[in-house]
């Protein structure tokens, strides 16, 4: 059986930038091992497999795989899949709300057209929770090939919201550009804190934050855009008192150092000093379309 696939570049309004995503459109009949093998073949940060919805108010059920394993939720697969389904099933001018079923739970996504490009905004399916392990600044600096003075004012900390990340604020764009995983120090730190990825960020010049995400243990030396980590960033920002009451919008850039600039928007809702919702928005553009034609699939 031939199975159709498409690829999109997500968190960008131009092809060959942003974070590439593969979507296998007809995944019924594939088992976990087969989906994992296909994700390894694409070798992108994530591949989505589409299944019929489990509930009548859902658009589709998603399973999301990195080259190394399945994950419960991810931002750029959610944004890219919502835009793909909106345009192919409902037309390029569609504006409305879709709900995608993911392992982390139902993910509502608002889709609309703006300046000739399709945009989508997801609502994180779970609120971020802080981890209990507190890594030292010196260990974090060493794992990134930096000095302690290169780190910013946020205490390095773990946060989870489906996937989990070690969040490390840096003091400058220069430090961000110099950051890189130093082995075996980086993997040793990730093993101690119990996470696979480090999200490092600093104040940007034409955006609020510029970021990078390293997860070499996930076969992801660096990710061009990490929507899930962007949503989870709401946790440490609110926890450190850097977001006021009501709604706050941050614009973020990622992937610059990789030559795949990505633009993300984080919208945070705070009520009574507590995080109530985190939303991540961005564009996606189609790039390729084809068929998987392998015996037994």
CA atoms within 13 A on the CB side of 256: 20
Question: Closest Cα partner for 167 from 225, 222, 234?
Answer: 234
**Contact 73/228 with Cβ under 8 angstroms?**
yes
**Contact 198/213 with Cβ under 8 angstroms?**
yes
Active-site residue (options: 25, 46, 59, 218): 46
List all residues 6 or more positions away from 240 whose beta carbon is below 8 Å from its beta carbon: 154, 155
Q: Is the alpha carbon torsion for 248, 148, 261, 278 positive or negative?
A: negative
Which DSSP helix (H) or strand (E) runs through 141?
helix 137-143
Six token digits for residue 59: 């658009």
**Contact 137/167 with Cβ under 8 angstroms?**
no
CB-count exposure of residue 203 (10 Å: 0-12, 13-18, 19+): middle
What is the Cα–Cα distance from 134 to 15, expressed in whole angstroms?
A: 39
**Contact 71/48 with Cβ under 8 angstroms?**
no
**Contact 158/166 with Cβ under 8 angstroms?**
yes
148 annotated active-site: no
What is the Cα–Cα distance from 60 to 57, expressed in whole angstroms?
A: 9
List all residues 6 or more positions away from 225 whose beta carbon is below 8 Å from its beta carbon: 10, 11, 18, 19, 75, 76, 254, 255, 260, 262, 264, 282
Catalytic residues: 46
């Amino acid at each position: 059986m031939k199975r159709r696939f498409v690829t999109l570049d997500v968190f960008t309004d131009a092809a060959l930038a942003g974070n590439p995503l593969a979507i296998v459109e007809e995944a019924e009949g594939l088992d976990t091992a087969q989906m994992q093998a296909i994700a390894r073949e694409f070798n992108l940060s994530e591949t989505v497999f589409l299944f019929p919805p489990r509930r009548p108010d859902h658009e589709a059920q998603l399973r999301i795989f990195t080259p190394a394993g399945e994950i419960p939720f991810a931002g750029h697969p959610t944004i890219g899949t919502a835009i793909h389904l909106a345009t192919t099933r409902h037309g390029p001018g569609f504006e409305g709300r879709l709900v995608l079923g993911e392992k982390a739970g139902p993910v509502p996504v608002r889709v609309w057209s703006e300046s000739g490009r399709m945009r989508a905004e997801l609502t994180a399916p779970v609120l971020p929770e802080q981890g209990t392990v507190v890594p030292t600044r010196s260990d974090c600096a060493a794992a990134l090939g930096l000095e302690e003075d290169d780190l910013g004012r946020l205490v390095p900390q773990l946060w989870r919201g489906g996937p989990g990340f070690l969040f490390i604020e840096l003091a400058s764009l220069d430090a961000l550009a110099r950051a890189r995983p130093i082995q075996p120090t980086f993997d040793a730190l990730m093993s101690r804190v119990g996470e696979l990825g480090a999200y490092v960020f600093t104040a940007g010049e034409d955006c609020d934050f510029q970021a990078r995400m390293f997860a070499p243990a996930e076969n992801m030396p660096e990710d061009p855009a990490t929507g899930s980590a962007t949503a989870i960033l709401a946790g440490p920002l609110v926890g450190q008192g850097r977001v006021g009451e009501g709604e706050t919008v941050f614009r973020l850039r990622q992937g610059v150092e990789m030559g795949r600039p990505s633009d993300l928007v984080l919208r945070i809702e705070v009520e009574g000093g507590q995080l109530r919702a985190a939303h991540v928005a961005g564009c996606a553009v189609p790039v390729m379309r084809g068929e998987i034609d392998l015996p037994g699939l």
